[in-house]
Chain A
């Protein structure tokens, strides 16, 4: 049933595609980190239209499937003259989707800052920008780094969805190998084991980081 010879033959090809999976993960995570922070700040804005728009965006993106959002970016934007490569469309889609989750993470960090910090900043005549840059964000981000790490792992696991918009990452490679040989077992099992090993080991690292942050 399980063919080791075949497994060893296809393994290098799947491992080679891991590069695309990993670079897509990190670029999308960067998008999510930046957009997530912007969404959090926009939601806290006193300018109602801005905070309502940001809130609506978060609600909408969080309750619709990532796959459909990717289709939207990949198939609808070209209608308006904006053709994106599968990689770019994929990282934008994945990044925007998880930016809504990360905005909750930022919010949690910011809301845990005692009001005294805001008052002190005001008493010391800090400008709003300096208050955020020097007082609030440096204190609210480090405690939530483990949570962000967990989202990085989640995004890594979700990258196979990008194969639906024809990005050739490890899942797409496995699908192509399978359709050539009519044997899906080995290819898909390798992909599963790779994800399991990489995400489980990185989640152990996040847990260690969490312990270390709590000790301080």
Chain B
């Protein structure tokens, strides 16, 4: 039985990993744009960024995915399954990520900004050379957690029949009816994929707390 099952799980795992990777990259962009947008001095930009964040945090990924896949075509926008999946995952994670960006940037002590101004740095230099490097390190553990949430979120695309790991498992289950083996293996695969991230986060957190009280 395992000889038949494992290759199809491998095909599903590739889709799951691709989804996670592409949506993580897109989400990172969105997180920075929206995170900085919420700190902008222009009111219009702040309102736009806040609206985006509140809409995507106020509903769940499930609803967003179904809306993008089933409701958008009525506006003439028909996305292929994979693109709809990446878009929904990225928009959702981007909204959560923007909170990480915003909160770490405002947590950089005020003296750093003042020192940069005193040293006659331009606003761009100030952000790039002083604020971001300090904020970025603080963002890492939170972004690690977000990637795990993203990975877990990819399972939902199986409900719009994109053939990721979970979809492969449900199809296999309906043909060979061995739920115990299939779903146990499925859970273990997800756990194994997430392991490097959980370990990585712990390592970074450990490094960050070294030398602090």
Contact = CB atoms under 8 A, between A and B. Distances in A.
B170 A71 contact: yes
Contacts of B183: 68, 71-72, 75-76
A195 interface: yes
Interface stretch (B30-38, B59-67, B79-87, B102-110): B59-67
A178 interface: yes
B59 A68 contact: no
B198 A68 contact: no
Nearest to A75: B179
A171 B179 contact: no
Contacts of A72: 179, 183-184, 187
A58 B152 CA distance: 15
A79 B178 CA distance: 9
Contacts of A171: 62-63, 66
Interface in A40-65: 59-60, 62-65
Interface in B154-208: 154-156, 158-159, 166, 169-170, 173, 179-180, 183-184, 186-187, 190-191, 194-195, 198
Nearest first, the 6 closest Cβ-Cβ pairs linking A and B are A65-B155, A184-B70, A63-B194, A157-B60, A75-B179, A196-B58
Interface stretch (A119-127, A158-166, A207-215): A158-166
12 contacts: A63-B152, A64-B187, A65-B154, A65-B156, A157-B60, A158-B62, A161-B60, A161-B62, A184-B74, A192-B67, A199-B59, A200-B58
Interface in B7-23: none
Contacts of B59: 157, 192, 195-196, 199
Contacts of A178: 70
A60 to B, nearest CB: 6
B75 interface: yes
A161 B152 CA distance: 12
A79 B179 CA distance: 8
Interface string A158-181: 101100100000010001001000
Contacts of A196: 54-55, 58-59
Main secondary structure of the interface of B (DSSP, over half): helix
A79 B58 contact: no
Contacts of A64: 152, 187, 190-191, 194
B60 A183 contact: no
Interface string A83-95: 0000000000000
A69 interface: yes
A199 B184 CA distance: 33
A188 B74 CA distance: 12
Given A171-B63, A195-B59, A200-B54, A67 B180 contact: no
B71 interface: yes
Given A60-B187, A200-B58, 20 more contacts: A63-B190, A63-B191, A63-B198, A64-B194, A66-B152, A67-B158, A68-B186, A71-B169, A72-B187, A76-B179, A157-B58, A160-B62, A178-B70, A185-B75, A188-B70, A196-B55, A196-B58, A196-B59, A199-B58, A200-B54
